[in-house]
A and B are shown apart, each in its own frame.
Chain A
Amino acid sequence: MNVFYSPLQHSAGLASMRLEQLNRRYFNNYPDAIYTIGMDNAFHTVNNTVCQVLQRSREELIGQSFSLFIHPEHWEESVGYFRAASQGAPQRYQTVVLRENGESVFLDVTNFPLKVDGEMVGILGIAKDITLQKERERALLQTSQELQRQNEELELFRKIIAHDFRSPIARLLGLGRLLQKDNLPEKTKQTAVNAILQSAQQLDGMVRDLNQMLTLHHQGDEPRELCDVEELVQHCLSDLQQEINNAEATVTLAGSESLHLFTVKAFLTSIIRNLLSNAIKYRQPGRTLAIIVSVEQHDNEAVISVADNGTGMDLEKVGTSLFKMYKRFHHEIDGKGLGLYLVKEQVRLLGGRIEVESTPGAGTTFTLRLPIL
């Protein structure tokens, strides 16, 4: 006859363990944080994981309001969820708690209402540490955003090559073909030769711009140095002196505060130079160009603005294209539209923002805001 042993018979030790004891051990050693909170918002029981997550001893937690440990930004919603659970409806949500050392821990929380004899006495909660998961999510999102940005840029480069680069090349080909013809009038020949030079210069300018732009993207971690903003503006102005003189423009430097920024000097120089050279390029014919550059500090930001009384533009019409590559809005003026794109990218890499205000016929103001580190 076969004898079957039941497991209970086999381990008499386990059988002797009282259910309550088992529950307590299970409660204390469960890998997720488990706790009960009374109607007074205070911790009533906490398991070992709660102590590990918050890095506090049981004595520091019991009797304390749970909201003391919630990250202030999540305080309101967490209290709301707690209230809902303590009114009888189980809740599941994500929140952030703070350790004593200021570290944040992301939690996935489930709170159940606890009733004794039909009366609410508090909640039983389970919280899973999802910090790692959240960090991975954030890294993944960042990577996918960066990839998306790069893809958009690639599409833009394709367009630049298909349209903008092809244009001077087609002209060069046509002009060359034309010059091969016999019996061309001397005047036509001269026009063609000049146009060849002009097209080649344009192509050269585009190659240089594109090169600058591609170099820009390898300079994410450009070393920063302390720059005197006013000195830097003066430097840009002396670089552009020839153009300022030709335009007979007056440039005023407003804002007497001496402002020092820890920044990438080459970027800031390029930004300011681009804004100044735009102001000169889009001046209103028949009106003396006046440019006002102001440098100020507002809270933790350096505010640099370049205001002109030039042609201005209808921002509603221009919309979001203003800072895009190769968009031209002023057909009288030869612009490749790369300047503002570079400005925007450099501002982005410096962690700042740029805003524009403009009135057609009255002028344009670009305002650059950079964080003071």
Chain B
Amino acid sequence: MFEKVYIIDDDEVSVFLAQTMLEAEGFAREYETFQNPCDAIHQLLPILQQEQTESIPNAIFLDLNMPQMDGWHFLDKLSPHAELLKQNCRLYILTSSLDSMDVRKAKTYDFLARFLQKPLEESDIQQILHGLNS
């Protein structure tokens, strides 16, 4: 089980779905959700800058298509802290997009754990949890 998880998605239903599915599988102790990615950045960047490793979420589920700041822009803001993230946080893209360009682009971020397609399935969650235990 993870300690703390962020779910970043502008769509309320998607946040509800992801959280409910994760909860059903006993994924984490604490869920923090952001419908505006800018809020998540404001919270996360100082933590990373000050290297408060205990405050870094253990996993992040990030949507791509968001009007305020898209997922790529979000990742770009995090990239200076790639090493810290790799050690402390599993970053997942969780998108409804079928665009293969997105999958290709995701490969250019080496601190990304996986590219997941919505809806988040039980099997995906179990795989992630197994990966954590092994």
Contact = CB atoms under 8 A, between A and B. Distances in A.
A195 interface: yes
B67 A169 contact: no
A177 B16 contact: no
Contact of B119 (A170, A328, A331): A170
Interface string B91-108: 000001111000000000
Interface in A181-233: 181, 188, 191-192, 195, 198-199
A162 B20 CA distance: 25
B121 interface: yes
Contact of A162 (B14, B67, B97, B119): B97
A331 B67 contact: yes
A169 B119 CA distance: 9
A92 interface: no
A171 B118 contact: yes
A178 B117 CA distance: 16
Interface centre among A161, A173, A174, by most chain B C-beta atoms within 10 angstroms, is: A174
A170 B67 contact: no
Instruction: Give chain B's interface secondary structure class.
Output: loop
Instruction: Name the interface size band of chain A.
Output: 20 to 34
A174 B67 contact: no
Interface string A300-335: 000000000000000000000000000011110000
Contacts of A188: 20
A167 interface: yes
Interface of A: 159, 161-163, 166-167, 169-171, 173-175, 177-178, 181, 188, 191-192, 195, 198-199, 328-331
15 contacts: A161-B98, A163-B98, A166-B97, A170-B96, A170-B117, A171-B13, A171-B17, A171-B118, A171-B119, A174-B119, A175-B13, A177-B21, A177-B121, A195-B17, A198-B13
